[in-house]
Each structure stands twice: as structure tokens, then as C-alpha cells.
Amino acid sequence: MRFLFRSLKTFVFILAFISFSSPLKAQIPVGKGTISGDFMLNGMFYIPDSLIGADKVDSKVRANSYMYLQYTNGGFTAGMRYEFYLYPLIDFEDIGYKGHGITHYFADYKNDFIQVTAGTFYEQFGSGLTLRTYEDKYLGIDNSLLGARVKVTPYKGITLKGVWGIQRKNFDFEYLKRKDHVRGIDGEISLTELIPQMSEKGFSTSLGASFVSKYEKDEDPTFILPQNVATWGARLNFGWKGLRFEGEYARKINDPNATNEYIYKPGDALFASLTYSMKGFGISTSFIRADNMDFRSQRGTPANLALLNINYIPAINRQYSYQLISNYSYASQPNGQVGAQCQINYQIPKKTKIGGKYGTDITLNYARYHTIDKTMLPIDSITGSQSGTDGYTSNFFKWGKELLYQDLGVEISRKFDKRWKLIVAYNWLIYNMEVLQGHGGMFHGHNVAVDLTCKINSKHALRLEAQHLYSKDDLGSWVYAMIEYSINPHWFISIGDQWNYGNADKSRRIHYYNISAAFAIKTTRIALSYGKTREGILCVGGVCRTVPASYGLGLSVTTSF
């Protein structure tokens, strides 16, 4: 086993090395294959600022960096990524994403019938309720599996997958000492491909099912813990013309762990969406209910770390890129949430009186999450808590009393002529800080955002972004303004300021200013920035982490070849 891992690593390394000794440029031919890759460096020089809460850090210069190389030759691909996070940005240090080494390496062969992967890999079964391994460099998440994957297509329209592996745990490379591993199978049948008459009539249907099991040795002195925890899921996808339904239901057997306070209750989740669209109009609704579905490779992993997650319970609200409300983004609650969402996209037709020459786009959306309904069971006489019991019972069809999040949004986007374009947006937010951030009650806020672009000519453009968040809760009201000047195709210069003018504490009405310049050429981008970042949360896809306040000079380089 040890030998297998080592030789795989060595092999990938040698391969990369040989190919690099020859003169190279973008997309390097090596024999009949090609080498490609990408590189990122995100560095920062930190300046302490006690007012905003940016403490002195032990190493002022810090950087996150990685390099990925990939060799492709027909159906064969091999790749490796070296990550250098020995002195990472302080937010990564805080979540323990620190170290260096080859964190991703694999060899993969693929043809029409079979795909075999050995090494670390990313995989998703269905919508991910039972298994999803992925990476997100901004959040410091990489829950890839080290092991093997086989995917076969025995007949057109039928796909079968099998995976086995040990999950990545930041920079802990002692995989062989681990007492946990994950295995799973997944099958999907596309009726549309199997039955040609269906697609002729405009129907599309597929069915799928998955089974995932985690093994982890029980060494607990108090409880007898299940060493094997299984989840299974079944899904359906149905479409007819503009109408589409997608749904998946998953269930997990008893899995006492740190996130559910060691209760023995089984978990389940339902995720469904129904959409309808035609040219110029689209409506999408979705629903999620998750009860005790936090599923990790190691049961002791604390809930506040996005580490060793085997499955993925999505948050379904709309994801905004507006600065001021991003701090109140909803974080998915796999152990208890029920939510629904509806979004309408409509285009007032082009060349009409109201729509204007280019048409006017309107987006309306509403999302709401509650806790799940819970009736607590009597406490355990030995542990003196719910631990060791089934914890609670929950009525599937009842929403919990506590509101977690609500968002009502309107966005109107209109291009007036070849020069001017305007986006106006309004959001009404309610955000349960107590549950989602662990402090401070309910947050109510109203946000207005304006984004105006002026394309001066084909080379020069100016963009102005202004936002106002009105609130009496948390830190009070904020304003934000940013001007970005771009000189096509290489230069981007921007200056912006976030001002917490409504803070109840007058000494904390701070300006968080930021100046940045970026240079882009082909697939390379180099950016320099200087300024202050407020303490807050960063969310991507409903997964969030806290970001400490910081002040300093940043450099970012990304390239791919």
C-alpha cells in the first residue's frame, strides 16, 4: 500500500520533470501529449491596525500559493498540484490550512467504456447529498479523496461509478495512519438515451441512486459508536419542453458526532427544484430540508470547520456579489434547515417603448429559511444531556419556529445605448446572527445598489458602484462607493471605500478604503491592492468562513498555460 502511494507520486513527479526540462511555451507538446498548468500566488504584507481589530501578526509577509501541472495524451491524463501555504494568509492560518506539499496527484485513463482514476480525485454523486468532494481556493476547502475511482458506461445511457478513498485533511499527509475511509457507488440511467421515442416527444428523464459508507474506528470510552455509517440517496430528473423537475432524497443512518452532540438519530435531506422557462422569461423554485445530515470522515470534527465533509447540503438562496450584504450571506445548516426560494427572470422585449432598444432585464427573488421542527427527547441519565439518545423527533412537514434568513430582492438592468448601462438593485434582508454567527440576535437590513457602466470607447470604460445598507442592528448602516477604470484589454484601476457611518459607537465609524490596480494579459493577471478589509464572513456556495480584519498591501498573480 505504502509502496503504491509512493510509486504513484514518484511517477507523476518524474513525468512532470522530464517534460519541463525541454524548452517550453504555452501548451507544451511532449511526444504526442501536451503539458498544461496553472499557478496562483496570493500574498499580503500586513500592517497592524488596532482600531479595526487587525492584530499584529508574527509573520508580516504571508502568501498562499500553488502550482498545478497536467499531462494529457489522448485518453490518458496525469496531474499534480503543489501547494505552498507554510505562511498562509491569516484567515487560512485561523482555519488550520497551513503547510506545504503535493496535495493533489492523479493518473487517469478514459475511453468510451471506462474511466479509471488513481490518486486524489473530485467526485459528485447526484446533487451531492451523499457525496461531493471538491475544492475552493478562496475558502481553503479541499476534501478530495485519495484512492481510486472507476466509472463505466456499459450501455449508452447507463453510468456506474465506484469510489474508495481517504479524505484529505488540510496538510496532514499521514494517510496511512488514518483510521477512516470512504467508499461509495452510484448509478444513473438516462431514459432519454435508452428510449429514443422519449426524446422525440421532447421528454428528458433520468433516474439515479447512490450508496456511500464511511468507516471510522470506534475508540470512544463512553459510547459504542457505529464504525460504519451509511447514506443512500435516490434522485429523479424530469423535463418536458421548458419545464424541469429535479429532486433528490437522501438518508443517513445513526451517526453520533461532534456536530450533532453525539445523538443516535438518523438523518435525512430532501432537495428539489422546479423550473419553467421560455425565451425572455424564466421562473425557478427550489426547496431544501436537511435534518442531521452533517456527514464527515472523522466524527470529532467541529461544526465550525469546513473539513472532512463527505456530502454537500446546498444553500438555495441567491448569491450576491454586493459588498455590503455579503457579510450577511446565509450559511447552509446541514443539521437543521428548511428553506424555499423563488426567482423570476424576465426581459421586457427589445425595441419596445418600455424595454428600450436593448430590452430591460428584471430579476425578482425571495428566499426564506427556518429551523426544522424539533421535539426534544428526555435526557440520558448517564451523560446528563441529549448525547447518547436519539436527541429529538421532527415532523417532516412542519417548519421550525425560528427564522434563520429571509431575502427579498429586485434587480433591474438596462442598457440605454452603446455607452451607458445601469443596474439597480434592492434587497430586504433578515439574518439570524445568533444561529449563523453565534452572537447578536436578528439583523434587519435594507440595501440599495447602483452599478453604472460608461463605455467611453472600445478601449476605455468607467464603472461606478454605489451601495447603501440601512440597518439599526449589528454595526448599523454602511455606505460603499467604488470607481473602476478599465483600459482594454490590459489595465484595471479601482478605488473604493466602505464607511460604517451608522455605527452606534462614534469612534468606530471607520472607513475601509481600498486602492487596486490590475494588469491582465492573455490568461495571466497581476493585481496590487492596498487598503483595509473589515472583519466579516466570506461565503461561496453557502459554505462560509470568518475573515479577520486586515490592513496592508496585497499582491496577487494568477496564470495558466
Partner 1 sequence: MKKLALLILLISCTLLSFGQEETKEKKLATIPSVDIKALDGQSFNTINIDNDGKPIIISLWATWCKPCIAELLAIADVYDEWVEETGVKLYAISIDDVKTAARVEPFVNGKNWEYEVLLDINSDFKRAMNVVDVPFLCILNGNREIVWKHTSYAPGSEEEVYEIVKGLVNQK
467 binds partner 1, rule: CB under 8 A: no
Closer residue to partner 1 (CB): 273 or 500: 273
Query: Binding residue for partner 1 (CB under 8 A) from 486, 494, 500, 516?
Result: 486
* Alpha carbon separation from 502 to 148, 439, 506, 511 (Å, rounded): 55, 20, 8, 12
What is the chain's length? 561
**Residue 65 contacts residue 137 (beta carbons within 8 Å):** no
Applying CB under 8 A, which part among 190-198, 249-257, 297-305, 472-480 lies near partner 1? 190-198
Q: Position of cell 507554510?
A: 86
Binding characters for partner 1, 101-140, by CB under 8 A (x = yes):
xx-------x-----------xxx--xx---x-xx-----
Query: In the window 312-351, what residues touch partner 1 (CB under 8 A)?
Result: 312, 314-316, 318-321, 343-347
Closer residue to partner 1 (CB): 115 or 254: 115
**Residue 208 contacts residue 192 (beta carbons within 8 Å):** no
**Least Å from the CB of residue 386 to partner 1:** 30
Query: In the window 194-213, what residues touch partner 1 (CB under 8 A)?
Result: 204, 206
**Least Å from the CB of residue 46 to partner 1:** 24
Query: Binding residue for partner 1 (CB under 8 A) from 92, 271, 369, 480?
Result: 271
**Least Å from the CB of residue 190 to partner 1:** 6
Going by C-beta distance under 8 Å and a sequence separation of 6 or more, which residues neighbour residue 82?
A: 66, 67, 68, 100, 101, 102, 103
Closer residue to partner 1 (CB): 68 or 499: 68
Binding characters for partner 1, 25-64, by CB under 8 A (x = yes):
x-x-x----x-xxx-x------------------------
**Least Å from the CB of residue 402 to partner 1:** 22
67 binds partner 1, rule: CB under 8 A: yes
Structural Rg of the chain based on CA atoms: 25
Closer residue to partner 1 (CB): 100 or 374: 100
Closer residue to partner 1 (CB): 127 or 210: 127
Q: Count the neighbouring beta carbons within 10 Å of the beta carbon of residue 458.
A: 8
Closer residue to partner 1 (CB): 23 or 378: 23
Query: Binding residue for partner 1 (CB under 8 A) from 141, 146, 338, 461?
Result: 461
Binding characters for partner 1, 509-528, by CB under 8 A (x = yes):
---------x-x-xxxx---
Query: Binding residue for partner 1 (CB under 8 A) from 61, 382, 487, 504?
Result: 487
Closer residue to partner 1 (CB): 2 or 25: 25
Alpha-carbon dihedral of residues 91, 96, 97, 101, nearest 10 degrees? 140
Closer residue to partner 1 (CB): 31 or 378: 31
Q: Distance (Å, rounded) from C-alpha 237 to C-alpha 126?
A: 10
- Count the residues of the shown chain that bind partner 1, applying the rule CB under 8 A: 106
Closer residue to partner 1 (CB): 56 or 350: 350
DSSP per-residue codes, 103-160:
EEEEEEEE-SSEEEEEEEE--B-TTSSS-B--EETTTTEE-PEEEEEEEEEEETTEEE
Q: Distance (Å, rounded) from C-alpha 341 to C-alpha 367?
A: 4
Query: In the window 230-259, what residues touch partner 1 (CB under 8 A)?
Result: 237, 239, 242, 244, 246
**Least Å from the CB of residue 406 to partner 1:** 17
Q: Which cell numbers hold the place of 248?
A: 433528490
Strands of 134-256, DSSP E: 135-136, 141-142, 145-155, 158-167, 180-190, 203-216, 228-240, 243-252
**Least Å from the CB of residue 508 to partner 1:** 30
**Least Å from the CB of residue 515 to partner 1:** 18
Alpha carbon of residue 437 to chain centroid: 18
Closer residue to partner 1 (CB): 341 or 500: 341
**Least Å from the CB of residue 396 to partner 1:** 21
Q: Which amino acid is at 18?
A: I
Query: In the window 372-401, what residues touch partner 1 (CB under 8 A)?
Result: none
Closer residue to partner 1 (CB): 101 or 300: 101
171 binds partner 1, rule: CB under 8 A: no
Q: Count the neighbouring beta carbons within 10 Å of the beta carbon of residue 219.
A: 8
Widest CA span of the chain, in angstroms?
75
**Residue 69 contacts residue 105 (beta carbons within 8 Å):** no
Q: Distance (Å, rounded) from C-alpha 538 to C-alpha 195?
A: 45
Going by C-beta distance under 8 Å and a sequence separation of 6 or more, which residues neighbour residue 545?
A: 91, 95, 139, 140, 306, 537, 538
Q: Distance (Å, rounded) from C-alpha 316 to C-alpha 273?
A: 10
Query: Binding residue for partner 1 (CB under 8 A) from 99, 215, 234, 277?
Result: 277
Nearest of 264, 268, 289, 290 to residue 377 by alpha carbon: 264
Closer residue to partner 1 (CB): 225 or 429: 429
Q: Distance (Å, rounded) from C-alpha 260 to C-alpha 292?
A: 7
Closer residue to partner 1 (CB): 387 or 486: 486
**Least Å from the CB of residue 262 to partner 1:** 29
Q: Which cell numbers hold the place of 165?
A: 478513498
Q: Distance (Å, rounded) from C-alpha 384 to C-alpha 382?
A: 6
**Least Å from the CB of residue 397 to partner 1:** 22
SS3 297: coil
Applying CB under 8 A, which part among 55-63, 99-107, 296-304, 439-447 lies near partner 1? 99-107
